[in-house]
Amino acid sequence: MHNHESGTPMTESRRQEVFLALVTAQDQEMSVSQSRKHVAEHFAISESQVMQIEREGIENNWPPLDAEVSE
């Protein structure tokens, strides 16, 4: 996956940062579509990239999901 602005590949840690921001936005009562748009704008990536990162994060149980399992 590439960063929209620079065209360089997005690192896994950066994708995890995007995922965390998405989950946090949804936890703060933002709708799924609103949170995707907000995160896409914040990270200067497309909403489709946000959705790909969302799927990847869920499939790989990225933080903060891994913390929810152990609580």
Does some domain include residue 3? no
Does some domain include residue 1? no
Does some domain include residue 29? yes
Average per-residue pLDDT for the chain: 88
Q: Could you please report the per-residue DSSP string of the chain?
A: -B-TTT-PBPPHHHHHHHHHHHHHHHHTT--HHHHHHHHHHHHT--HHHHHHHHHHHHHTT-TTHHHHHH-
Does some domain include residue 28? yes
Q: Name the token pair of 14.
A: 């950066």
Does some domain include residue 23? yes
Residue 3: its pLDDT value, please?
A: 64
Asked if residue 17 lies in contact with residue 10, where contact means CB atoms within 8 angstroms, the answer is no
Q: Name the token pair of 20.
A: 């965390």
Does some domain include residue 2? no
Residue 59: its pLDDT value, please?
A: 96
Does some domain include residue 6? no
Asked if residue 4 has pLDDT above 90, the reply is no
Determine the average pLDDT of the residues in 33-43.
97
- Percentage of the chain surpassing pLDDT 90? 73
Q: Name the token pair of 65.
A: 């999901």
Does some domain include residue 7? no
Find the domain containing 59 and state its range. Answer: 12-70
**pLDDT tens-place string over residues 47-70:** 999 999 999 999 999 988 876 544
Determine the average pLDDT of the residues in 44-48.
96
Q: How many domains does the chain have?
A: 1
